Amino acid sequence: MSDAGLIAVRWALYVDLGLLFGLPLFALYAPGGVRMAARHLLMPALIAAVALAGVILSALGFAVQASAMTGLPITRPDVSILGDLLNETALGLALKTRVAALLILLLCALFYGRAPRAAAAASTLVGACALATLAWSGHAAAGEGGIGWLQLAADLVHLLAAGAWIGAIAAFLLLAVRWVDADDMDHVSLTEAALRGFAMVGTLVVGLLILTGAVNGAILVGPGNVLSLGKTTYGLLLIVKLTLFAAMLGLAALNRYRVTPALGLAIAQGDARRAMAILRKSLLAEGGLAIVILGLVAWLGTLSPPMSA
């Protein structure tokens, strides 16, 4: 399979596993909690569908990476080499851990009706484990010594923070895409309360992303290579990624300081159609940027950073 195929699988896994951590986490801190999520987000069905997709993507991703490492076509793998990769490498251990976590998530989906909060808490923890395994398929797995452990820790926190943000965007989109009737103020009030409740979580997420991104940048790029970033494919992609991330911050600020107050005013006036329409557009733009950024991250993971040159 081509490099484009490998990047596509990596991108899909970032999205899939980010949702598996971020969505149940959202259900734990959002107003109305897991019962709201079960009613408005169809959480059990979502978790089951995304977990099943994760199993398929993980198997495909392992096959693609094995093909790239061995030079053999994905349709004609060497079974003995696959066995060695699966049982004797960090990549294989990460795959087995991830698949086990995804199967547990499928089981968790069955318990949202009986013990919703416990199921959401378990889904969040297991989803975090599944998402964390992606750190062993990128540059963080190549580090050595104290710097290597620092890079791995920064990458793990970066992944979890990104997953929390992706899950929140997806949850807000699911709340906002529903058509709002003039009398459907309960749904609008729920969305407005969820937006306000995300303010503190969102601030923490952004802070962690910036901090861990700076650590990773210092390790992978190095201060001496900053001015020459535009001369390499890796550097150009990183510049685009940072630019899009800044745009996402701008949209998040717009949601917090303009759209959320507009929703509150619309609730007071008894008509929220226009405010909800603005919210949908802003969330779609933010979600689109997040998808593109994850694609860039998947691409960057296949390239050599400046400090490894």
**Which tokens belong to 216?**
């990773």
What is the pLDDT confidence band of residue 2, given thresholds at 50, 70 and 90?
A: low
222-242 pLDDT, tens digit each: 878 787 888 889 999 999 999
- At position 153, the amino acid (one-letter code) is A
Looking at residue 223, its pLDDT comes to: 79
More confident residue, 41 or 203: 203
Looking at residue 244, its pLDDT comes to: 95
Task: Provide the whole-model pTM.
Answer: 0.89
Quick check: helix, strand or coil at residue 302? coil
Give the residue-averaged pLDDT of 41-70.
88
> Which residue pairs from 38-44 have beta carbons closer than 8 angstroms and sit at least 24 positions apart in sequence?
38/112, 38/113, 38/116, 40/174, 40/175, 40/178, 40/187, 40/190, 41/171, 41/174, 41/175, 43/112, 43/120, 44/109, 44/110, 44/112, 44/113, 44/119
Percent pLDDT > 90 in the chain is: 40
181-230 pLDDT, tens digit each: 555 677 777 788 888 888 888 899 999 999 999 998 888 888 787 878 88
Looking at residue 255, its pLDDT comes to: 84
The pLDDT of residue 107 is above 80: yes
Give helix 3-29 / helix 116-132 axis angle, nearest 10°. Answer: 150
